[in-house]
Structure 1
Amino acid sequence: MTATGPKSGSQALAARWRGVAWMGGAVLSFLLMALSGRELSATLSTFQILCFRSVVGLVIVGTLAWHAGWRVLHTRRLGLHVGRNLAHLGGQFGWFFAIGALPLASVFAIEFTIPLWTALLAALLLRERLTAQRAGLIVLGLAGVLMILRPGAGLLQWASLAALGGAVAYALSYLATKRLAPTDAPLAILFYMTVVQLPLATAGALWTWQPPDWGQWPWILLVGLTALSAHYCIARALKLAELAAVMPVDFLRLPLVALLGWWLYGERVDALALAGMAVIVAANVLNLRAR
């Protein structure tokens, strides 16, 4: 007993730390994706960014599927894949559109409401139980958003609404992913994400097509790579460690992106916006513990 007990305990601890490290990789991926999106938004439309992101993603995922064997892409739920990616494309559009117009920290703070919207939509669409405690936390998270956007103070603009709408759309896509995960391989979910979204993003991009110059291609490659690496790192983190262990690392995105926005773009976050961000993070932390 003494030989195996400490060993299993040390293995669990090591796995937890590896999960934390993978979540750190996801945080880095999100920060680099925001940076590349901000740089590209100066000259390219949001649909163009999404188009190039899908092209890069399709090349990478297609190569992985070729090595793994095309059978890994088998699905009997193509309609759910299409629905998921219509929602996911809406989420991405709102996120990248807001990245080019709002302080980076505000966009990330609004994005942190996704788990709260997911809980609400799961109750409405999937008939999952919504406790009074979780309902209260959704209201708390929305109060944090209002503190950041401040309706009536001139801060509630199209980009703000796009960020909020993108968070709701992401929540819908997460619900679809939850239903796909038991039957479809993660690689299949990523593959159909690029296949479905590429023609839609391309159609939107054709209206305002602007040929990228050579200086933009590193950012294009980076936005495509980090979009995939963020999802992969999260999946690895959650496979190695429990949600409560890795989520505090994800919350580091908020102060880190605020520092990044201040350092690179001179963005400042006032006291009320900081309080709103703290409220959203607190609502998420409490939501992890809620029953």
Structure 2
Amino acid sequence: MPQSSSTVIAARSGASSLAAIGFMVAAGFLNTIMLSAIKHLADDLHPLEVGFFRCLVGLIVLLPVIWHAGGLAVVRTERIGAHMLRGALNAAGMLTFFWAISLAPLATISAIGFTAPLFASLLAIVILAERVGLRRWIGIGVGFAGTLIILRPGADSIGLGALMALGSSVAWAGAMIVIKRLTATESPLSITAWAAFFVGLFSFIPTLFVWQWPSGAQWWMLAGIGALGSMIQFCFAKAFSLADTTVVLPFDFLKLVWASILGFLIFQEVPDLWTWVGGSVIFGGSIYIAYRERKSGIETAVTAAKSPPP
């Protein structure tokens, strides 16, 4: 008996969602491996230098893709200033995050990294004048309450690594807002290419002040970090292209699990209870915000579809 079209569509949708989840899990695991390598290298090389090589290798990997897609014509833009701003914010976020990894446990840094969507929501309200209802405000508030649980101001001195991770999330959030503006006129490849160029440029400048030539083994590790970074970006892109954000985003929480496992096995780090509680609360707030944004988008689309044509 032939299957109905709705059954076939549902089966394909389920397969796509499963593949998207697989890509998201892979991205989180590879990301934790990359962070572990960065933390290991930070004993001998400054994190700023490691960040620069991450960008350099990523740009080298991207060049054949740009050439195959049409060369310079693909990346031609009239919004060079916006690309430069995005690159500066991306560089600041990446370098401070890499530096934070060398100062604090992997699990703590991973948990604080979940705050980026919260800051992005706040910046969207301030900069893009987005209208936010009470429920999304609650999600934002819950997320930041989780941040306070991890940092515990007043209970103990707040570590520099945790503060740098928090600053990194703010910078990443700013980059997200600029990317949102750029997508209105720029192609994904153009945005990615200019980001690789400017992030590499802005990463190189501070690296000059801490530069030291890597050893033979360190060259291989730096190349591996750059390759892992490109693989992570690919997995993220595939995950979000195959399924809705609310389907794949919950599995990003596994980064905290991977970070706890590898942090213990490699660096003998044992995350405390507050890191797990705070990370869970932050992630819960982020998931709820993603859910509300998706629901709001669907409601807007339905309203537009019902509206009479002009």
Find the residue that maps to 2:161 and give its secondary structure. Answer: helix
Q: Which amino acid aligns with 2:200?
A: L
Residue 2 of structure 1 and its aligned partner are, at CA, apart by 4.8
Q: Which letter maps to 2:236?
A: I
Could you tell me which of 179, 200, 214 is aligned with 1:212? 214
The aligned runs of 1:64-143 (5 Å cut-off) are 64-70=65-71, 71-143=73-145
Q: Which of the numbers 124, 144, 147 marks the counterpart of 1:145?
A: 147
SS in structure 2 at match of 1:208: coil
Match of residue 272, structure 2, among 245, 270, 273: 270
Q: CA deviation at 1:40?
A: 1.7
The amino acid across from 1:224 in the alignment is: G
Q: Is the 8 A contact 2:48 2:98 kept in 1?
A: no
Equivalents in 2 of 1:121, 1:88: separation in Å?
15
Matched, 1:33 2:34: yes
Task: Specify the SS of the correspondent of 2:96.
Answer: helix
Asked if 1:279 corresponds to 2:291, the answer is no
Q: Which residue of 1 aligns with 2:224?
A: 222
Q: Partners in 2 of 1:131 and 1:3 — Cα distance?
A: 40
Q: Do residues 19 (structure 1) and 9 (structure 2) align?
A: no
- Kindly report the root-mean-square deviation, in angstroms, between the aligned alpha carbons of the 2 structures: 1.6
Aligned to 2:57: 56
Deviations 1:82-118 (A, max 9, x none): 0111111111012101111101011111110111111
Q: Give 1:121 deviation, angstroms.
A: 0.5
C-alpha deviations, 1:166-211, integer Å up to 9, x for none?
0011011011111222332222222211211223222211112111
Counting only pairs closer than 5 Å after superposition, residues 226-245 of structure 1 correspond to structure 2 as 226-245=228-247
Structure 1 residue ranges without an equivalent (≥5): none
- Code of the residue aligned with 2:251 in structure 1: it is V
* SS of 2:186 mapped into structure 1: coil
Please give the alpha-carbon distance, in whole angstroms, between the structure 2 residues aligned to 1:263 and 1:178.
39
Assess if the C-alpha contact under 8 Å between 2:48 and 2:99 holds in 1. Answer: no
Percent pairwise identity: 31
Aligned residue type for 1:51: F
Q: Which residue does the alignment assign to 2:204?
A: 202
Is the CA contact (8 Å cut-off) linking 2:95 and 2:203 kept in structure 1? no
Q: Which runs of 5+ in 2 are unaligned?
A: 297-310
* Structure exhibiting the larger radius of gyration computed from Cα positions: 2
Deviations 1:45-81 (A, max 9, x none): 1221121112101111112111222122122211111
Distance in 2 separating the partners of 1:272 and 1:19: 30
- Distance change >3 Å, CA 29–CA 72, structure 1 → 2: farther
SS at match of 1:80: helix
> Match of 1:207, SS?
coil
Distance 1:2 1:40 in 2: 55
Number of equivalences: 291
What do the CA deviations read for 1:247-280 (whole angstroms, capped 9, x no partner)?
1211111112111101111101112222111211
Range moving further from structure 2, 185-194 or 113-122: 185-194
Tell me the equivalent position of 2:248: 246
Instruction: State the TM-score, normalizing by the size of structure 2.
Output: 0.89
Cα contact 1:88–1:173 (8 A) shared by 2 = yes
